[in-house]
Amino acid sequence: MNRIITIGREFGSGGRELGKRLSDLLGFAYYDHEIVRAIAERSELAESYVDMVLENGVNAYYPITVASTFAAPIVAPVPAVNSGIYAAQTEILRELAQRSDCVIVGRCADHVLAEYHPLRIFVYASMASKLARCREREPEDSRLSDRELEKRIRAVDKARRDYYRFCTGEPWGDKANYDLCINTGGVSIKALAASLAALVQAMPNKQP
């Protein structure tokens, strides 16, 4: 059976970078937005629509803000279509898990792929640390104030929490549901990935 690493992460905690670096170091496939693309292809829906539904749930009908203002509603909710997106995601996640060793960021993959006994990692940090990390990645022309940026971080994390609860019925980020929870405050993701790769290789394969 392939080795699967799932990474849940708070926005701004460096979870995506950690997943990418970890997959490079271990020689595992890496999946994040690729999953949205695959669902869009399979369902013949726009990537942006698939993304919006996965971020906002089956009854989603407006896009979440990705800047400081809300965009106007673009579509009416279509629960049957939206449910199909979730079913397609489950199907694709299982296909990927069967294909090769891989790192999957987000997508409730820890829960969806439970039967594959993934190593379940959750990455988090204090708000101060997340603000600092977001600032590092921010485009130079960004005009978000600290308050706006914090509001955005909270909104994205709320969407992830709601989505996780919707998919799994469990509280998002509860350590009982993970094998390893890592606080990235004050930590170099590059250094962390290197040592974590060693730990992943040394940890007993959790698979039966």
Binding to its own copies (CB under 8 A) within 119-138 occurs at 122, 124, 126
Say if CB 100 and CB 29 are below 8 A apart: yes
Taking the least distance from each CB to its own copies, the nearer of 144 and 156 is 156
Taking the least distance from each CB to its own copies, the nearer of 86 and 122 is 122
Q: How far is the CB of 187 from its own copies (least distance, A)?
A: 6
Dig out the tokens for 118 from the structure: 């993934």
Element (H, E) at 31: strand 29-31
Taking the least distance from each CB to its own copies, the nearer of 48 and 188 is 188
* Closest CA relative to residue 122, chosen from 161, 166, 155, 94: 161
Quick note: the x/- pattern for its own copies over 74-113, rule CB under 8 A, is ----------------------------------------
Quick note: the x/- pattern for its own copies over 169-208, rule CB under 8 A, is ----x-xx-xxxxxx-xxxx--xx-xxx-xx-xxxx-x--
Q: What Cα–Cα distance (Å) separates residue 93 from each residue in 9, 15, 59, 76, 118?
A: 18, 19, 22, 27, 12
Is residue 19 involved in binding its own copies (CB under 8 A)? no
Using DSSP's 3-state secondary structure scheme, residue 68 falls into coil
Cα four-point dihedral sign 19, 25, 28, 33:
positive
Q: How far apart are CA 22 and CA 143, in angstroms?
A: 32
Q: How far is the CB of 63 from its own copies (least distance, A)?
A: 30
Taking the least distance from each CB to its own copies, the nearer of 96 and 160 is 160
Taking the least distance from each CB to its own copies, the nearer of 108 and 197 is 197
Q: How far is the CB of 196 from its own copies (least distance, A)?
A: 7
Question: How large is the C-alpha radius of gyration of the chain?
Answer: 17
Q: How far apart are CA 6 and CA 122, in angstroms?
A: 8
- Give the binding site for its own copies (CB under 8 A): 122, 124, 126, 173, 175-176, 178-183, 185-188, 191-192, 194-196, 198-199, 201-204, 206
